[in-house]
Amino acid sequence: MPLVSIIIPTYNSARFLSRTIESVLAQTYRNFELIIVDDVSTDDTVSIIRSFAEKDSRIRSIVSDTNSGGPARPTNKGLVVAKGDFVAFLDHDDEWLPEKLQEQVSFLQSASKDVGAVVCDVDLLTPDGARRPMHVFPDYPTKESFLTAVLCAKFFFMFSDLCMRRETLDAVGLLDERYVLGADHDYYVRIAQVCLIGVVHKPLIRYAVHPQNLSRGSLSLTNAIADLELSLDTHAELFARYPRCYRRRVVQLGSALIAVGNMKQARSALRTAFFLNPLALDVPFYLLLSFLGKRIHRALKTIKNTV
């Protein structure tokens, strides 16, 4: 039974962490090491980690010296010490269903070697306790089809559903620590360039939606803009090969810039997108919004999300 290394980066996650760790300990696949790396939490996160580690020798606790401002660096610290034949990731506020590891390890063991990673579907848990299954990933038969889907950001990115072979980690390397929110998207782009990614079409993860999610809030939107600009620059050669993906991401950048009130840069981005496809109607719409103001933009986004 191959060893699986599980990496959980944590920061001020005392409210959720016990439930997350318990979901790992409840796995039907038992041969794993759980590496939890804390990014200098100021709540009871570290004491919770240590209380679990004292009871189970499979759990290893690492506490960083300084806060890095995002999950990439603590995740990398876990990857550096990971010993497993397979590597899986889990966010500090998500949960795995008991069969998650068994399903994914079995999938990779039975798949050809060119399938270097596997993902799965997700159960979305809303703040009111409702459960909404999400079919996150369709099947992509070729590396190129998955790569273009990732570049275009056509689906919901999360690390908690990813399990990969050690060989994939060796080929791709560590996460890019320049990203605050976008290291997961960047990592998927890099994985898609070296191997196929399989899909287990079962919801094996519970993803919690709550106000403390790192991906929410105005500061997070600012970080997301910086991450998207970094992605466009880092993967410039790839985007040049796939201009439709480039255009889609530039439109997303323009929309985000409008939302934070940076109308001048938004119009610059949108003009770039316009010349890539002058007949598309989305860019004129966003250009109009850039003159109406961010309040109108947010109101329209709210209406769109509630319809």
Q: Are 229 and 269 a contacting pair, CB within 8 Å?
A: no
**Intervals of CATH 3.90.550.10 along the chain:** 4-208
Per-residue pLDDT at 142: 82
Mean pLDDT of 271-281: 96
What's the pLDDT score for residue 30? 98
- Note the pLDDT tens digit of each residue in 150-164: 999 887 778 999 999
Q: What is the CATH number of domain 4-208?
A: 3.90.550.10
d(CA 131, CA 200): 19
243 close to 272: Cβ distance less than 8 angstroms:
no
pLDDT tens-place string over residues 11-52 = 999 999 999 999 999 999 999 999 999 999 999 999 999 999
pLDDT, the chain, mean: 91
Q: Is the pLDDT of residue 216 over 50?
A: no
Residue 304 predicted with pLDDT over 80:
no
pLDDT in tens, 108-136: 999 999 999 999 999 988 777 778 877 77
Whether residue 259 has pLDDT greater than 50: yes
Question: Residues 168-199: pLDDT tens digits?
Answer: 999 999 999 999 989 999 999 999 999 999 99
